[in-house]
């Protein structure tokens, strides 16, 4: 009790979110229950309600935390070459998804399986990732790889991110003859190849 009360409410909240992400690392989200939290971490229903308002809200906050972590993990590195920055971001993306595979799949499943609030968290995260590609590069850098920043380009970049996710997930299940490096290289370069095709009138 003494140890607990040393944490500020904000720290305690953070600690619970970290716990949620950790518990999701090896189980699907539908297994995140009040019972599990009590059993695994001594977290009571009352505490959960106090900090988040309920299990559902806690789950949403945990998923938002995962989306934020993915966003942080894939932040563009400080390097003058856009293609290199993108390559490193994809390396880090695959690293994050691999480390959180079960919960990432459950996150997707809940997002696409008709839970609108989870879909919203998922889509916000994805939009943030896609928009950062454009917002973290200058128009000249984009032009060098054949990209012009238009609403149509952003639509196609979103489509590219769906391809990235699909290819990584399938590749994790069955790598065929492709090394991780080859998958990352192909997907990195494909962004420019696709966006170079977008009409510009």
**Which residues, 6+ apart, have CB-to-CB distance to 50 below 8 Å?**
none
| Per-position x/- string for 131-150, each x denoting binding to a second copy as judged by CB under 8 A, each - no binding | -------------------x
Asked if residue 171 binds a second copy (CB under 8 A), the reply is yes
For residue 113, the minimal CB distance to a second copy (Å) is 2
Both tokens of 145, joined, read 């790889």
Q: Report helix, strand or coil for 178.
A: coil
Which pairs count as long-range contacts for 184-188, CB under 8 Å and 24+ apart, including other chains? 184/87, 184/90, 184/91, 184/94, 185/87, 187/90, 187/163, 188/83, 188/86, 188/87, 188/90
For residue 171, the minimal CB distance to a second copy (Å) is 6
CB 166 within 8 A of CB 121: no
Question: Among residues 41 and 198, whose Cβ is nearest to a second copy?
Answer: 198
Distance CA 66, CA 88 (A): 19
Stretch that binds a second copy, among 2-10, 47-55, 93-101, 153-161 (CB under 8 A): 153-161
| Count of residues touching a second copy (by CB under 8 A) | 36
Question: Among residues 17 and 94, whose Cβ is nearest to a second copy?
Answer: 94
- Which of 113, 120, 124, 143 binds a second copy (CB under 8 A)? It is 113
Interaction site with a second copy (CB under 8 A): 108-110, 112-114, 150-152, 155-156, 158-160, 162-167, 170-171, 176-178, 182, 185-186, 189-190, 193-194, 196-199
């Amino acid at each position: 009790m003494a140890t607990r009360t040393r944490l500020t409410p904000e720290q305690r909240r953070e600690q619970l979110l970290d716990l949620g992400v950790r518990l999701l690392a090896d189980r699907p989200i539908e297994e995140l229950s009040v019972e599990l939290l009590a059993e695994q971490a001594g977290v009571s229903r009352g505490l959960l309600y106090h900090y988040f308002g309920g299990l559902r809200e806690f789950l949403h906050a945990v998923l938002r935390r995962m989306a934020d972590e993915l966003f942080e993990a894939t932040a563009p590195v400080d390097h003058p070459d856009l293609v290199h920055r993108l390559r490193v971001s994809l390396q880090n993306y695959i690293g994050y998804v691999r480390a959180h595979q079960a919960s990432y799949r459950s996150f997707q499943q809940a997002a696409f399986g008709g839970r609108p609030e989870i879909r919203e968290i998922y889509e916000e995260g994805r939009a943030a990732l896609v928009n950062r590609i454009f917002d973290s590069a200058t128009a000249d850098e984009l032009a060098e790889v054949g990209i012009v920043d238009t609403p149509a380009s952003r639509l196609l970049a979103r489509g590219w991110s769906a391809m990235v996710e699909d290819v990584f997930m399938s590749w994790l299940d069955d790598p065929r003859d492709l090394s991780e490096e080859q998958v990352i290289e192909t997907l990195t370069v494909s962004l420019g190849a696709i966006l170079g095709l977008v009409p510009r009138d």
